[in-house]
């Protein structure tokens, strides 16, 4: 995948396929240390120890629509290639946690891509899922909690184009203004 935001979208889509009703995306950037960490957690069905041991095999998938599952193996390889780390934790009935870290000045690190577009596409595509997005860098933090936004607006889903465009703008603005 050519952008980190596409890896993020792939993992979040896996969350919904696992029946998640809540997904959390946390991106932490430590510019002083030159590190980037992406953590995605869900409350989906989780994986058995056997599935967890096989999920990084590109020729393993639980889907019946295709014979390979490249998303997590590619994310794993991207982290390792960029002098980072990759951790995957899961428990049946409790959910899954994916953590990938990267060295930000590594020559092979893909660009972030359109993260605001990725997040808002996920929100529109999965109105039944509550997403918490946190972006941290050097002590500053931006938080978007769709459950909270729905409560403030008094709506059940965030699919109105004006709301989505507003959220997309706020996400972009927050990242740009962070030191």
- What's the pLDDT tens digit per position in 12-47? 999 999 999 999 999 999 989 999 999 999 999 999
Using 50, 70 and 90 to split pLDDT, how confident is the model at 66? very low
Distances (CA, A) of 73 to 54, 118, 150: 10, 20, 34
pTM assigned to the model: 0.91
Burial of residue 10 (CB within 10 Å: 0-12, 13-18, 19+) is middle
Identify any residues that bridge with 152 across adjacent strands, giving them in sequence order: none
Q: What is the mean pLDDT of the chain?
A: 90
Can you state the percent helix, strand and coil of the chain, rounding each to 5? Answer: 35, 25, 35
Dump strand ranges (E) for the chain.
22-30, 35-42, 85-91, 95-103, 130-137, 140-145
Domain 4-177 has CATH 3.30.565: yes
Q: Average the pLDDT over 115-129 and give the result.
A: 96
């Amino acid at each position: 995948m050519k952008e980190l935001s596409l890896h993020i979208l792939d993992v979040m889509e896996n969350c919904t396929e696992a029946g998640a009703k809540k997904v959390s995306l946390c991106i932490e950037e430590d510019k002083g240390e030159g590190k980037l960490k992406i953590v995605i957690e869900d409350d989906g069905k989780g994986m058995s120890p056997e599935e967890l041991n096989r999920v990084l095999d590109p020729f393993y998938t639980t889907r019946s629509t295709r014979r390979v599952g490249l998303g997590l193996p590619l994310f794993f390889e991207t982290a390792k290639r960029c002098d980072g780390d990759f951790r995957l934790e899961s428990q049946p009935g409790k959910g899954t946690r994916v953590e990938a870290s990267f060295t930000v000045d590594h020559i092979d690190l893909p660009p972030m891509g359109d993260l605001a577009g990725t997040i808002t596409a996920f929100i529109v595509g999965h109105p039944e899922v509550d997403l918490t997005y946190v972006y941290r860098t050097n002590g500053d933090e931006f938080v978007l909690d769709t459950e909270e936004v729905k409560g403030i607006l008094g709506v059940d889903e965030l699919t109105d184009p004006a709301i989505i465009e507003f959220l997309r703008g706020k996400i972009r603005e927050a990242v740009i203004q962070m030191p």
